[in-house]
Amino acid sequence: MRVLLLLLAIFSSVTAAKSHYPSSSTLKSPQRSFASLDKKVSTKKAPTALGLDTLIHQRGGSSNEAATTEAMSKEAAGFPPAVKLLIGAGGIYGAFLYYGSLQEDVFRYTAEDGTQFKQAWFLQVLEALANVLVGFVGMQLTGATKGIPKKAFAISGASQVSAKACTSLALANGLSFPVATLAKSGKMAPVMLGQLILGGATYTMREYLQVAAIIGGTAVVSMGKKKGSTSSSSTVGVAYIVLSLVLDGVTAGFQKQLKEETKKAGVKPKPYDFMFHTNFYMCITAIIISAALGEIGSGLAYCTANPEIFNKIVKFAVCSAVGQSFIFYTIANFDPLILSTVTTTRKIFSVLLSIFLKGHSLSPTGWSGIALACSGILSEMALKMGGKAKPH
């Protein structure tokens, strides 16, 4: 079933991509007059553009979180818009809600001998590898772009996988999944801080209040658990999630440089170009660090001794790759605002599902924190819908 879902995601996004990028035979056809071509160009609607840094912001998991693209046409042939939205949004919800649930299961798993899975960098190797494989297949089907600046992708990939690893390390060190997810929703905070200090940017009072609501709500949730709750937010876990947020801000800067480098090189990478090259360097970085920490051997040994958790890890990696394909499909057929709305509400549902299904017990104070953080997240989404959001 997972294989069928993966093939559907790849086929859908590849079909949408091909509807945007013309074939070589179309480009070489001499039968159309210049007048007809001019007329076609003047009457065709320009596709809505989605910036590189915007897509990275959408990746849940995580994204993951997490890859990006130039915009593609909303008029791709095929299903009616309502069906396309159902496929895209349904795929993103299904893949990343399950992704989040599996991520929590992996780090809450306890073996018969009482040990737990702590190899966060080894997990990143497997997740990035799954995305590399899917990205490679999609890139071959849609056609690879030549002349891509590999160095820029390497730096961006290293920064991005470090941020994801820190999130996993936060969970491995006792931070609860709802707190970690809400905290990651406040990734706008380090970006704003960096822009204020280095870029001289200005922000509205509403934007400051949005960030304050997310951060404040997250803090209230972490302190609002009922006595006897099975999980606790450790100091080390909090430190890792803060470091992850800082790395998110750094990644945003590297993604901006990547966008500039591709523009200077005169190339326009396609969706699966981004997915393959970004995750390739994420995988290389994760392999080097996990090998240095001895996590590859210990991770394989733990998975061999506990097949149940290895099954969850494989599903986790597949969900990441499937979710990214559905993100590309949604970008190809709808305005970026649709994607932003889907991924934003997905985070809220991930938190609520974790609370109800994983046994997180909250006091009334904790629930007030959930409401406060969600109000900040929804306010940010409403600001984008109003067309007033500033580029970060």
Instruction: Select from 166, 182, 99, 95 the least CA-distant residue to 380.
Output: 182
User: Tens digits of per-residue pLDDT, 301-334?
Assistant: 999 999 999 999 999 999 999 998 898 888 778 8
Max intra-chain CA distance, the chain: 76
User: Tens digits of per-residue pLDDT, 216-266?
Assistant: 887 787 666 655 444 445 789 989 999 998 888 888 778 888 888 888 888
Place of tokens 């995601």: 9
Rg of the chain taking only CA atoms, in angstroms: 21
Q: Distance of CA 348 to CAs 179, 205, 355, Å?
A: 11, 24, 11
Element (H, E) at 17: helix 2-20
Instruction: Select from 212, 262, 259, 198 the least CA-distant residue to 372.
Output: 212
Rounded distance between C-alpha atoms, residue 90 and residue 207, angstroms: 30
Its sign, for the CA torsion 366, 166, 271, 255, is positive
User: Tens digits of per-residue pLDDT, 361-386?
Assistant: 778 888 888 888 888 878 877 776 66
For 303, half-sphere exposure in the C-beta direction (CA atoms, 13 angstrom radius) is: 17
Contact in structure between 303 and 122 (CB atoms under 8 Å): no
Rounded distance between C-alpha atoms, residue 364 and residue 381, angstroms: 26
Backbone angles phi, psi at 362, to 5 degrees: -115, 145
User: Tens digits of per-residue pLDDT, 233-245?
Assistant: 578 998 999 999 8
Contact in structure between 146 and 267 (CB atoms under 8 Å): yes
Paired with 110 in beta bridges are: 116
Q: Read off the pTM.
A: 0.72
